[in-house]
Amino acid sequence: MTTRRAAVQIIAGAGVGALFTPAPWRLVRDTALWSENWPGIPRPKRGPISAKTTVCTLCPAGCAVRARCVGDQPVSLAGVNGGLCPLGVIGHHLPYYPRRVKQGAPEEARAAIAKADPTKRVAVLDLRPGRTASALYRKAMKDQGGLYLAPPQPGASVNLAAAKSVLSVGAPLFEGWLPPAEVFAARDRFRLVQIEREFSRTAAMADVWLPSGDVAEIARKLDGPVLVVDRTMSPAIVALNKEIGGWGQTVQAAPDFGADDLASVADGSIGVLYIDESNAGEYIPWQEIERKLAPNAVTVAFAWSPDGYARHAKFVLPTAVFPEALDDVDGRVTTPLLKAPEGVVDPVEFIAKASLADALKEVKPKEDGGWRLPYTGTLDATASALSTKVYQESNLLLAPRHVAVAPGAGLAENDAAVLETSRGRLPVRVVVDAGLPAGKVRFLGTPEVLDLCGSEEPKVVRG
């Protein structure tokens, strides 16, 4: 008969005995391995590794890019001639942007365009002029008696490599104004004097920073060849370069993109407006465009992100995005690394009824004399889910809807506030930056902020 004592002895003996077998240890190990392989943990794709090269089209710098691919899928991007900017590094993530525009109604857009007021003009706003697609738009508009519009371009091209001294009047020289790898490669060969009210990142890397100064007098004292720059290469700066002998050496005329001047277009005269926003470029505040539109004008935005003109257009048609898109920068044609998803619309085919692929076959590489047209637009650093590293998980960049103010403005860190102009108000969070002069407000130039500000200096008031 089994007694209670015997049962306890059997159970205890089995427990102790089991410790001398591999079973419990295997169980612990297998449990650990199982917990490390939850079904929810993604497994990276395996396959043959290869390298492909292409050209980054996320800004006009057009950096040469080497993509490491698993099969046909790019898994990392690196610069061929030096490093890339943060957006370039994550360029292969853009097709997976959670808020990407995926669907549109091209047939409805065509029907609306067919019904548009024939007495009004057709126009294309090309955010990235100078491409082969731009030439096709321009020709199409010329044939139809329409307008080819582009954002204002800088007043001159610059040759940084030819300069021994650079006098910058607030130009963000090291912040995407010129191709990052090129400007850093040339850095040791020129002396930089930065005149800027704010101690910016470019000011931090300058040899001399001056909050203010007599630009012409300083320029004449510097060792030549001297390059004088401001953000837009304004006529006054170009004239100063000519005066000190830099014309043709460090500064030359900007390429003519043959665009019509938006300011001179009659108000209410545009009946159909196409906006090619498939590539980032300088953003024109919507109010400046809106007043040129006729009542009931048809606006069609070709975009992959919903954050720009897609907020205002009647029709938003999805486009391919780098690295899916076929395009060219400065005579260099991209090699699409990914296939564009179903449903994307080719803006060139839609607007100009032409084949971009055929036109790109005629593109010849340009001779690189070192001349670069500065980029005055904003890179959309929020377009990848991983961009949070630079504004949310660190304080390197201002996050969207955040503004930096100087101490003493009556606002504390992370206060809720309102960015205010005569055009409206936008709720923001405050970052206090002791490096800013009193009264100065720093903000990220996102389309919604640019729409609000235009050329106005915004105020920040307690929310």
Query: Which residue from 52, 64, 97, 258 is in contact with other proteins, where contact means CB under 8 A?
Result: 97
Q: Please report which residue ranges of 147-300 form alpha helices under DSSP H.
A: 180-186, 201-205, 215-221, 235-243, 286-290
Which of 3-11, 204-212, 303-311, 420-428 is the region at the interface with other proteins (rule: CB under 8 A)? 204-212
**Residue 181 contacts other proteins per CB under 8 A:** yes
Token representation of residue 199 = 């101690």
Nearer to other proteins, 18 or 28 (CB): 28
* 3-class secondary structure per residue, 13-72: HHHHHHHCCCHHHHHHHHHHHHHCCCCCCCCCCCCCEEEEEEECCCCCCCCEEEEEEECC
- Token pair for residue 46? 């395996």
Verify binding: residue 35, other proteins, rule CB under 8 A: yes
User: Per CB under 8 A, does 389 bind other proteins?
Assistant: yes
Instruction: Give dist(CA 388, CA 100) in Å, integer.
Output: 17
- For residue 42, state whether it binds other proteins (rule: CB under 8 A): yes
Beta-carbon contacts of residue 159 (< 8 Å; ≥ 6 apart): 227, 249, 250, 251, 252, 369, 370, 371, 372
Q: Assess contact for 244 and 253: CB atoms under 8 A.
A: no
Q: Does residue 90 bind other proteins (CB under 8 A)?
A: yes
The three-class DSSP label of residue 203 is helix
Shortest reach from residue 97's CB to other proteins, in Å: 8
Tokens of 212: 């203010």
Q: Which stretch binds other proteins (CB under 8 A): 71-79, 121-129, 277-285, 450-458?
A: 71-79
Q: What are phi and psi of 216, to 5 degrees?
A: -65, -45
Q: Is residue 180 near other proteins by the rule CB under 8 A?
A: yes
Q: Which stretch binds other proteins (CB under 8 A): 44-52, 119-127, 226-234, 312-320?
A: 44-52
CB 308 within 8 A of CB 286: no
Report the Cα 66 to chain-centroid distance in Å: 19
Rounded Cα–Cα distance for residues 92 and 87 (Å): 9
- Of 73, 232, 249, 252, the one binding other proteins by CB under 8 A: 73
Q: Is residue 36 within the footprint of other proteins (CB under 8 A)?
A: yes
Tell me if 83 contacts other proteins by CB under 8 A. Answer: yes
Site for other proteins contains 430 (CB under 8 A): no
CB of 69 to other proteins, least distance (A): 10
Binding footprint of other proteins, residue count (CB under 8 A): 67
Is 204 among the residues that bind other proteins (CB under 8 A)?
Answer: yes
Selected from 64, 75, 113, 116, the binder of other proteins by CB under 8 A is 75
Contact 178, 153 (CB under 8 A): no
Shortest Å distance, C-beta 130 to other proteins: 23
Min CB(276)–other proteins separation in Å: 25
Does 438 interact with other proteins (rule: CB under 8 A)? Answer: yes
Piece of 7-15, 87-95, 228-236, 302-310 that binds other proteins (CB under 8 A): 87-95
Give yes or no for a cis peptide into 323 (omega within 30° of 0). Answer: yes
CA distance 301 to 317: 6
The stretch near other proteins (CB under 8 A) out of 8-16, 30-38, 263-271, 355-363 is: 30-38
Strands (E), 130-281: 147-149, 156-158, 165-169, 191-195, 208-210, 226-230, 251-253, 270-276
Residues 356-385 that bind other proteins (CB under 8 A): 384-385
Among 152, 268, 370, 437, interactor with other proteins by CB under 8 A: 437
Name which of 27 and 253 has its Cβ closer to other proteins: 27
Strands 156-158 and 165-169: unpaired
DSSP state of 260: B
Closer of 333 and 397 to other proteins (Cβ): 397
Report in angstroms how near the CB of residue 129 gets to other proteins at its nearest. Answer: 25
- Interface residue with other proteins, options 13, 15, 24, 47 (CB under 8 A): 47
Residues in touch with other proteins (CB under 8 A): 32, 35-36, 38, 40-47, 49, 70, 73-76, 78-79, 82-86, 88-90, 92-93, 95-98, 174-175, 180-181, 184-185, 187, 199, 201-202, 204-205, 211, 384-390, 392-397, 406-407, 434-438
